[in-house]
Amino acid sequence: MFEIVTMWQKKRDVLNHDVLGIEYLNGLRAFIERLRRPDPNAFRIAEFIDEDFPMWEECQKEAEWLLNNFEKEMSPQVFLEYQPLSRCDDGTQEWLGGLIHQLWLTRYNPDDSVETCRKALHKADETYREIIAGIPESTIHVVPSLVMLLDLFETFTKACANFSSELSKLPREVLLA
Amino acid sequence: MTGFKFYLSDEDHPTMRDDLAVLLRSLGGQQEEEDPTQAQIIIVHGNSDQLEETLHEHGIYIEYTTAEGLSCQPNLRGMKKSYKISFSLLVKRLKRLTTPTSIHDIVQVITKPEKPVTYSASIVVLCQGYLAVHAATSGYASIIENSQPPDTAFKEALKLMGWSEKARDLVKNVDIHIVQDPSWWKSVLQFGTYNGFSLNVLKEEWDFMTSDVFPDELPTFVAALLNDNMITDHNIVARVYCLLAAKLQSTFS
């Protein structure tokens, strides 16, 4: 019905679908599979830990941005920036914008869904930090230490998937009614 | 002149390319598989080899991207009759065409600026404004603390839109006459202008949202605006709001 696609929607699609969904989680699952093998490829394991695993830091920052900006970017108040509602005079823009934002807050209470996402993100990030603390500084002969962390890697994978699922539950559209 | 030859290139997304080919053929296009110089329309994905050099003198060049929401950008790389647009929007726009189609029709439909917010949605926003100002003026702090108002439609509308004391505080100083004045509504809706509002436009939007019969309240309300009547009956506005809001809700659910 609307052709508005906000920056928030675009960023959420990129993070949830492209980065977390396709790249990161698949990479993580493949890494765990590899680590479970009796004679894992140490080079591939070290490469993942050095290059791919830390990508979480970027995902985490982007996720924080999404959660911090959800209310501002996905409020129907944005409709006033587009025609035909942008034709409202300045006085109307001011009170009507505030009003439809407040009504939306009352109807949807987005804080609850954002808080659920935030908890899921926190859980994933906490596990990530725990893993980082357990990885030896040098990744040479690192495999045995990483095998010890297998359970944590699995917990982290589940936590990332859970965060991704919670993020996808936030509305896909700017909801007006 | 209708009928055209088109050439498509997208190695990365064969499904998208094939869907587009089916759509263009359904519009009377003939696909040129081998030689882009023989086509009047060249459509390529942004990552494909650029083929603008091969463009026919009277042809058009369309480059699409998989990114969402890119409206049509003309003069791609400074070339006339070239356009960049998101794939989803390109398909959406082409689907509006009927056979037989000309190149001119295609250019028109992809370049036409879209009204991003429908009139139905705009009326819903204006109704929220009107009903809130009316409620604040009438002293309805919240529908919970007060069993008033007795008017069912008004009460239902306030509940549906999320009326609260906080909302009241935001509009308590707005003069009710502003929102009762038909010019407040008409400055947004712009009856009779190109791409402006009319009852037919509203009916088209309604039919897009639902197969329900177009309700009588909507023509009554539009007629009141057209006749420059002061909008003093808050129950009419409430009914218009409830009808449109319910349909917008179900469109998204």
Instruction: Give tens-digit pLDDT for B183-233.
Output: 999 999 988 776 678 999 899 888 877 888 999 999 999 999 999 999 999
- The CA-based angle A113-A172-B210, given to 5 degrees, is 120
Last residue of a domain, one of B84, B111, B138: B111
| Residue B237 structural domain | 119-252
Looking at residue A177, what is its pLDDT?
A: 78
Please count the structural domains in chain A: 1
Quick check: is A152 in a domain? yes
Last residue of a domain, one of B111, B145, B180: B111
Cα(A23)–Cα(A47) distance, integer angstroms = 15
Cα(B72)–Cα(B226) distance, integer angstroms = 34
Nearest alpha carbon to residue A79 among B127, B123, B245, B116: B116
Chain A: residue whose CA lies nearest to B209: A1
Looking at residue B87, what is its pLDDT?
A: 87
Report yes or no: A128 and A156 within 8 Å, Cβ to Cβ.
yes
Q: Do B65 and B171 fall into the same domain?
A: no
Mean pLDDT of B68-81: 73
Chain A: residue whose CA lies nearest to B190: A84
Q: Do A100 and B121 touch (CB under 8 A)?
A: no
User: Given CB atoms, is A90 within the 8 Å cutoff of chain B?
Assistant: no
Chain A: residue whose CA lies nearest to B207: A1
Last residue of a domain, one of B111, B143, B165: B111
- pTM higher than 0.80, yes or no? no
Cα(A23)–Cα(A31) distance, integer angstroms = 12
- Would you place residue A139 in the very low, low, confident or very high pLDDT band (cuts 50, 70, 90)? low
Helix (H, G, I), strand (E, B) or coil at A129: helix
Q: Do B127 and B145 fall into the same domain?
A: yes
Check pLDDT > 50 for residue B253. no
Q: Do A82 and B125 touch (CB under 8 A)?
A: no
Q: A-chain residues within 8 Å CB-CB of B163?
A: 103, 106
Q: Do B92 and B206 fall into the same domain?
A: no
Count of CB atoms situated within 10 Å of the CB of A108: 17
Q: Do B102 and B204 fall into the same domain?
A: no
Q: B-chain residues within 8 Å CB-CB of A100?
A: 125, 128-129
Q: Do B117 and A82 touch (CB under 8 A)?
A: yes
Q: Helical H runs in B95-190?
A: 103-111, 119-138, 152-161, 165-171, 176-180, 182-189
Quick check: is A87 in a domain? no
Quick check: is A14 in a domain? yes
| Highest mean pLDDT out of A121-135, B87-101, B104-118, B145-159 | A121-135
Residue B89, token pair as written in the block: 């929007």
Q: In what order do the strands lie in the sheet with B4-9?
A: B29-31, B4-9, B41-45, B60-65, B82-86, B73-74
Binding-face residues of A in 130-159 toward B, CB within 8 A: none
Quick check: is A164 in a domain? yes
Q: Do B248 and A176 touch (CB under 8 A)?
A: yes
Cα(B242)–Cα(B253) distance, integer angstroms = 16
Q: Do B64 and B84 fall into the same domain?
A: yes
Count of CB atoms situated within 10 Å of the CB of A72: 12
Q: Do B125 and B224 fall into the same domain?
A: yes
Q: Do B106 and B138 fall into the same domain?
A: no
Q: A-chain residues within 8 Å CB-CB of B69?
A: 3-5, 9-10
Quick check: is A140 in a domain? yes
Quick check: is A91 in a domain? no
Read off the pLDDT of residues B11-53 as tens digits, 9 standing for 90 and up. 888 999 999 999 999 888 999 998 888 888 999 988 777 676 6
Q: Which residue has the tokens 């129907």?
A: A76
- Would you place residue A1 in the very low, low, confident or very high pLDDT band (cuts 50, 70, 90)? very low
Mean pLDDT of A89-100: 94
Q: Do B84 and B177 fall into the same domain?
A: no
Q: Do B13 and B93 fall into the same domain?
A: yes
Report yes or no: B40 and B58 within 8 Å, Cβ to Cβ.
yes
| Residue A160 structural domain | 7-75+114-169
Chain A: residue whose CA lies nearest to B168: A99
Please count the structural domains in chain B: 2
- Mean residue pLDDT across chain B: 84
Quick check: is A54 in a domain? yes
Strands (E), chain B: 4-9, 29-31, 41-45, 60-65, 73-74, 82-86
Q: Do B124 and B231 fall into the same domain?
A: yes
Residue B145, token pair as written in the block: 């603390």
- Residues present in chain A in total: 177
Q: Residue A41 carries which side chain, given as an amino acid letter?
A: N
Q: Do B139 and B37 fall into the same domain?
A: no
Report yes or no: B253 and B247 within 8 Å, Cβ to Cβ.
no
Cα(A105)–Cα(A88) distance, integer angstroms = 22
Rg (CA), chain B: 24
Cα(B88)–Cα(B16) distance, integer angstroms = 10
| Rounded percentage of chain B residues whose pLDDT exceeds 90 | 44
Q: Do B31 and B83 fall into the same domain?
A: yes
- Would you place residue A3 in the very low, low, confident or very high pLDDT band (cuts 50, 70, 90)? low
Quick check: is A81 in a domain? no
Q: Do B188 and A85 touch (CB under 8 A)?
A: yes
Distances (CA, A) of B25 to B32, B107, B205: 11, 16, 28
Cα(B237)–Cα(B161) distance, integer angstroms = 13
Q: Is B154 exposed, middle or buried (0-12, 13-18, 19+ CB in 10 A)?
A: buried
Looking at residue B120, what is its pLDDT?
A: 92
Residue A156, token pair as written in the block: 């982290």
